[in-house]
Amino acid sequence: MLNSKMAAEGGGKEMNEIKTQFTTREGVYKLLTHSEYSRPNRVPFNSQGSNPVKVSFVNVNDQSGNGDRICFNVGRELYFYIYKGVRKAADLSKPIDKRIYKGTQPTCHDFNHLTATAESVSLLVGFSAGQVQLIDPIKKETSKLFNEERLIDKTRVTCVKWVPGSESLFLVSHASGNMYLYNVEHTCGTTAPHYQVLKQGENYSVHTCKSKSTRNPLLKWTVGEGALNEFAFSPDGKFLACVSQDGFLRVFNFDAVELHGTMKSYFGGLLCVCWSPDGKYIVAGGEDDLVTVWSFLDCRVIARGHGHKSWVSVVAFDHYTTSVEESDPMEFSGSDEDFQDQMIHFGRDRANSTQSRLSKRNSTDSRPVSVTYRFGSVGQDTQLCLWDLTEDILFPHLPLSRTRTHTNVMNATSPPVGATIITNASSNTTNGNNSGANTPGINSLSATLPRSNSLPHSAGTTTTTTTTTTTTTTTTNNTNKASSGGGIGSGIMDSAIATGVSKFATLSLHDRKERHHEKDHKRNHSMGHISSKSSDKLNLLTKTKTDPAKTLGTLLCPRMEEVPLLEPLICKKIAHERLTVLIFLEDCLVTACQEGFICTWARPGKVGLLSSQNQASSPSGTVV
């Protein structure tokens, strides 16, 4: 992979090269150029001033076995196709339904999965002028229009979703910061609604509609300051996570209308949010270029991920790769040749490691042996990042098996520019429990005094060995000089836990010593890459009553060095325009960019019928 190495070194045109495949521990994901969906003419859409391209899927369970349907908006147009995925090439000449709107643009949409059949589907579409339309693209009819006169809200619809488990209730958020609960059976009034307070709390209030007969909206939520950019229901449908332009994640008990917990971005607004499949974790992304992992149970930030070089537009969990395993997960990013070498290297350690972990976990804890959550993110930097959230981050206080020295190897070859590189060159830990254990994981950091991985100083800088991630295994109550000394003293170095095992194992003793004296210098400058962004401008633009300086360093928004910093498994440029969609399906993952191209990436071993076809470059220009 010479090209990727040249790109990592700030090379010329390779920087703009678009990836058509990438490798993780599961194998190779491949772009299926014949499965690309777009407008029928396949011409890149001039996206200046238009709303983000969005994609919705539904399965209508028809008898043919090909029940997947896809809906996407491009500019003023809305398309509804049979989605053939990895099985057959897309036929763009035959949309089931196509609509072109005047005076307003579709901004978001959502299918009702409960009521979908081969003869009828209920599709909600939100618009830039504030209306919400209920359509059936199979029957080709428009059944209802909500907020038609814009009496309820005049601002852009930012997100629309059916309430889980309901055939008639749906929730709509707007750029005004308001959310409204509607019932498709009820009408909207002919005059502006009057409201009375149902519940008020910190930076939110909920109102009911005062009227003689039941009418929409049933409820009005006012949440935070500025636009409410996205919301997501928990897997059980009981909780609602909202992210706003004021930089706050707010999680509500939806039925009880009560605030469960909050989190603040590092800076700027939060743009996207998603739940883990079990509802235990929430990931949010936004204008701080970070992905932030928040624990629903503990109501605190447990990790941040840095890999994007611009705003993060979508985050999503991969339900099909997220797993509870009885073996060590392997992480890999790099060329196929390196992957083969790595597989040979892993084979030696896996049996003993798994056995020791089984016995250790079973004797001390009822937790599953190995938990790995996979999630992905796409951003305005045109890059796709995949991340693994492992037990090292989730359960930082548990003793780790000594034999687990080669589990998570990250970016064993030169990563793309902007990807952080973990290579820890510190060896012996002095804590009794972990003596001699070069602990694996994304960052095996304790919650009491974790250290962030140092980041490259600029996008063009390549550091093949970055500074150590340091941590202690002391508890908050039992702090030693390492945990009370502010973080840069030599005391921490003595109790460092090495995580970048693959690189560490290849360093000679002499190299390790030479790395040692560089640590303090690099840690002092590790935030340069992030803070050099236009954070000051963003903070000025973000109108909020909460002073960011007061939240930084608190539970709402820990400092960068106070929580583990994840780095991506892969970080690949996959489009020419900013990315707006990331959806994980069973056989593939789907991405879309603002030019209006929806791309299908086959999972390892799922290429199917398309592998034998001549995969020539698509006329779209998005695939090289």
Enumerate residues 6+ apart whose C-beta is below 8 A from 382: 573, 574, 575, 576, 577, 578, 579, 593
pLDDT at 550: 84
Exposure b/e, 268-300, CB count within 10 A at least 16 = b: bbbbbbbbbebbbbbbbbbbbbbbbbbbbeeee
* Contact of 163 with 169, CB cutoff 8 Å: yes
pLDDT at 14: 54
pLDDT at 621: 35
Instruction: Please tell me which residue, 62 or 78, carries the higher pLDDT value.
Output: 78
Exposure b/e, 509-541, CB count within 10 A at least 16 = b: eeebeebbebbeebbeebbebbeebebeebbee
Torsion 28-584-309-573 (CA) sign: positive
- Best CA proximity match to 489, nearest among 469, 519, 510: 519
Q: Is the predicted pLDDT of residue 144 greater than 90, yes or no?
A: yes
Instruction: Please tell me which residue, 246 or 614, carries the higher pLDDT value.
Output: 246
Whole-angstrom distance, CA of residue 571 vs CA of residue 573: 7
Q: Which residue reads 């058509």 in tokens?
A: 20
pLDDT at 547: 73
pLDDT at 124: 98
Phi, psi of 353 (to 5 degrees): -60, -50
User: pLDDT tens-digit profile of 426-440?
Assistant: 333 333 343 333 333
pLDDT at 324: 67
Quick one: average pLDDT of 67-92? 95
Q: Which residue reads 């992992």 in tokens?
A: 293
Q: Is the predicted pLDDT of residue 107 greater than 60, yes or no?
A: yes
pLDDT at 312: 98
Which of 127-136, 353-362, 389-398, 545-554 shows the highest mean pLDDT?
127-136
Neighbours of 486 (CB within 10 A): 9
Enumerate residues 6+ apart whose C-beta is below 8 A from 518: 467
- Best CA proximity match to 326, nearest among 365, 367, 387, 363: 367
How big is the chain by its Cα radius of gyration, in Å?
A: 25
Phi, psi of 114 (to 5 degrees): -70, -40
Share of the chain above pLDDT 90, in %: 56
Q: Which of 89-93, 94-98, 338-342, 457-461 has the lowest mean pLDDT?
A: 457-461
Q: Is the predicted pLDDT of residue 409 greater than 80, yes or no?
A: no
Please name the residue ranges forming H helices in 221-367.
336-347, 350-364
Average pLDDT over the chain, rounded to whole? 74
* Contact of 206 with 233, CB cutoff 8 Å: no
User: pLDDT tens-digit profile of 183-215?
Assistant: 999 999 999 999 999 999 999 999 999 988 899
Whole-angstrom distance, CA of residue 242 vs CA of residue 253: 11
Q: Is the predicted pLDDT of residue 553 greater than 60, yes or no?
A: yes
Exposure b/e, 42-67, CB count within 10 A at least 16 = b: bebbebeebbbbbbbbbebeeeeeeb
CA 457 to chain centre: 24
Question: Confidence band (pLDDT; 50, 70, 90) for 32?
Answer: very high
pLDDT at 184: 96
Which of 78-92, 359-373, 452-466 shows the highest mean pLDDT?
78-92
pLDDT at 163: 98
- Output the six-digit token pair for 332: 């890999």
pLDDT at 395: 86
Question: Confidence band (pLDDT; 50, 70, 90) for 92?
Answer: very high
Whole-angstrom distance, CA of residue 130 vs CA of residue 529: 38
User: pLDDT tens-digit profile of 345-402?
Assistant: 333 333 333 333 333 333 344 454 578 999 999 999 999 999 999 988 988 876 544 3
Instruction: Please tell me which residue, 281 or 474, carries the higher pLDDT value.
Output: 281
Whole-angstrom distance, CA of residue 605 vs CA of residue 623: 21
User: pLDDT tens-digit profile of 4-17?
Assistant: 443 443 444 456 78
- Best CA proximity match to 308, nearest among 411, 383, 247, 225: 383
pLDDT at 15: 62
Q: Is the predicted pLDDT of residue 341 greater than 70, yes or no?
A: no
Which of 13-27, 426-440, 504-518 shows the highest mean pLDDT?
13-27
pLDDT at 325: 61
Q: Is the predicted pLDDT of residue 448 greater than 60, yes or no?
A: no
User: pLDDT tens-digit profile of 148-191?
Assistant: 999 999 999 999 999 999 999 999 999 999 999 999 999 999 99
Q: Is the predicted pLDDT of residue 337 greater than 60, yes or no?
A: no
Exposure b/e, 131-169, CB count within 10 A at least 16 = b: bbbbbbbbeeeeebebbeeeebbebbbbbbbbbeeeeee
Whole-angstrom distance, CA of residue 480 vs CA of residue 559: 21
Whole-angstrom distance, CA of residue 624 vs CA of residue 610: 18
Whole-angstrom distance, CA of residue 28 vs CA of residue 402: 31
Give the pairing of strands 300-306 and 204-210: unpaired
Q: Which of 42-51, 418-427, 508-517 has the lowest mean pLDDT?
A: 418-427
Whole-angstrom distance, CA of residue 434 vs CA of residue 392: 14
Partners of 162 in the beta sheet? Answer: 170
pLDDT at 396: 81
pLDDT at 545: 57
Question: Confidence band (pLDDT; 50, 70, 90) for 65?
Answer: confident
pLDDT at 447: 37
Instruction: Please tell me which residue, 6 or 603, carries the higher pLDDT value.
Output: 603
**SS3 helix, strand, coil % of the chain, rounded to 5?**
15, 35, 50
Q: Is the predicted pLDDT of residue 457 greater than 50, yes or no?
A: no
- Output the six-digit token pair for 153: 């809200």
Share of the chain above pLDDT 70, in %: 64
Enumerate residues 6+ apart whose C-beta is below 8 A from 615: 32, 33, 34
Quick one: average pLDDT of 76-101? 94
Neighbours of 366 (CB within 10 A): 6
Q: Is the predicted pLDDT of residue 422 greater than 80, yes or no?
A: no
Q: Which of 255-259, 459-463, 571-575 has the lowest mean pLDDT?
A: 459-463
Whole-angstrom distance, CA of residue 370 vs CA of residue 389: 11
Task: Identify the H or E element spanning 162.
Answer: strand 157-162
